Structure 1
């Protein structure tokens, strides 16, 4: 396993290093060559194993069905995993628990004869529920007398206890997932632009609000997983869609990312209004089979040209990117 992990790290290092070299050699960006830049902190790595080595990064988080398709600094990986990804995984599992799915169990607080006890609520394959109270997790002097007096049909109240999830931090995990999926698909073509500094600052500083609110939605439109350009004039931005899989249920999300054409604050405000008004947006998918933005120079140049033309207020629509719903 360690050998396979190392080999994958080497392949990813080479893949994105070569992507960066291709962009620099064709004067599409100005940067050093033969390096890998961590997409989160922008630290430059000449080798995989340095003081802060490059590690496999899962997007979405591994606990929610993600696979390692990019690299980030070990410090970035650990910090984001502990401070933000853990909150998303906890919330998704909490949602599952409250659905009382078959073959699941959850820790709960029960109230019997005005006494609060720690219990485990289990649901078997037939959907039948049972409650178990352990001496290990309760005071035996309190538990035993109560259990002796519990009769069939007695009503027992319970609750799931207070959640430790911080809502803002689970949102930032969604942001991180979308950002790394964009990097996976387009390499350094887009993410080095200063418009993504707010994304990086948010991921590095999860205790304060940097990225504007209301940047994510449930994927109620049923878009396939992937990256999309919103091409309507004045609404230009990126939609990134992905699934989260707890092992019991799947949920699909849509995250809004910026491009250099518009300020993300303005875009999110306009999109919020557009969604309320049920406005139809025009999307262009980057997932078209023959569109490779890592090592296909023609496609990469078209991508840069599209963004550059869109910054021209007199330009309405690029013939290179036909409308597609």
Structure 2
């Protein structure tokens, strides 16, 4: 969707994910049709920082499909690091096709405590496990737990960065034609559409969360959303790289990613490039989008803004 078409959407709300149109009546819960819901960004399970409106279908289906993985992945990382008090739902298999379910918790001595849940375990298996444990004869056991889906977690992180940008900058942010691939990836998480290499896990440590611009190397036209995700006593910082709005942005982003291991980069908060009027004055609200075109689009490129 191009900025010049925005006039047709006055009085309507465009879901930033599926891009279906909604009216003010859709703020009310209605069991007979899709309606607008308040969504936490990132997910509430990893300590949200922003709120946006998305439709119920997008909120519910994507929440269960991908957003649910963020806390699980962080929980597993905290467990593997031995962070005190981290709990994992665990199944321990032993003997000949015997198993018990329960929870395993990290201790301050670097070891783990396992507590059986009798409601989720076969009583006979519980007795056999306890007898074996008391006699010290539990051998060859295997502990399993849900570690979280790493791929879906990455898609959820991309989704959160996209919605964070929308929360701060509105439609000017998602008018970027390159973001159609991001929306497609969110809507179809089973497909491989938008490269997960755009996510930098545990970067060098940025003090400020939110939208940034890659200032070094210069003139790349790449933005980045920095987020701190917290669960199970662990805070993980992620940096999601996003292309600018001009026609050559994806090429520059791909080139930057390919050389990222050998180069350092510097982020500058987007607010340093913007005036408050960009968000408050209707005549200025398209400036975040136009910023990319005016700054990075070559003058002889006819695909730019004219």
- TM band (smaller chain): 0.7 to 0.9
Q: Which moved more, 1:193-202 or 1:149-158?
A: 149-158
**Aligned equivalents of 1:183 and 1:121: distance in 2?**
39
Q: Give the deviation of 1:154 after TM superposition.
A: 6.2
Q: Would you say 1:46 and 2:23 are equivalent positions?
A: yes
User: How is 1:240-319 mapped onto 2 (pairs within 5 angstroms)?
Assistant: 240-262=225-247, 265-278=250-263, 280-288=264-272, 291-292=275-276, 293-296=278-281, 300=285, 302-313=287-298
Cα 1:154–1:163 change in 2 (3 A) is same
**Contact 2:89 2:104 survives alignment (8 Å):** yes
**Aligned equivalents of 1:79 and 1:310: distance in 2?**
38
Q: Would you say 1:89 and 2:71 are equivalent positions?
A: yes
User: How is 1:83-162 mapped onto 2 (pairs within 5 angstroms)?
Assistant: 83-110=65-92, 116-118=98-100, 119-124=102-107, 129-151=112-134, 159-161=142-144
Kindly report the root-mean-square deviation, in angstroms, between the aligned alpha carbons of the 2 structures.
Answer: 3.2
1:73 corresponds to: 55
**Contact 1:236 1:262 survives alignment (8 Å):** no
1:208 corresponds to: 191
Q: Would you say 1:63 and 2:45 are equivalent positions?
A: yes
Q: Which moved more, 1:176-185 or 1:146-155?
A: 146-155
**Aligned equivalents of 2:163 and 2:245: distance in 1?**
17
**Aligned equivalents of 2:67 and 2:147: distance in 1?**
13
**Contact 2:51 2:167 survives alignment (8 Å):** yes
Cα 1:62–1:160 change in 2 (3 A) is farther
**Contact 2:225 2:240 survives alignment (8 Å):** yes
Structure 2: stretches of 5+ with no match in the other structure: 301-306
Q: Give the deviation of 1:260 after TM superposition.
A: 1.7
Q: Give the deviation of 1:69 after TM superposition.
A: 1.5
**Aligned equivalents of 1:144 and 1:287: distance in 2?**
62
**Contact 1:64 1:246 survives alignment (8 Å):** yes
Q: Would you say 1:226 and 2:203 are equivalent positions?
A: no
**Contact 1:234 1:262 survives alignment (8 Å):** no
**Contact 2:213 2:224 survives alignment (8 Å):** yes
* Number of residues of Structure 1 aligned to a counterpart in Structure 2: 290
SS in 1 for 2:279: coil
Q: Would you say 1:239 and 2:221 are equivalent positions?
A: no
Cα 1:152–1:169 change in 2 (3 A) is same
1:13 corresponds to: none
TM-score in terms of structure 2 length: 0.80
**Contact 1:35 1:44 survives alignment (8 Å):** yes
SS in 1 for 2:42: coil
Q: Which moved more, 1:85-94 or 1:201-210?
A: 85-94
Q: Give the deviation of 1:195 after TM superposition.
A: 1.9
Q: Give the deviation of 1:167 after TM superposition.
A: 2.7
2:304 corresponds to: none
Structure 1: stretches of 5+ with no match in the other structure: 1-22, 316-325
Q: Give the deviation of 1:124 after TM superposition.
A: 4.9
SS in 2 for 1:70: strand
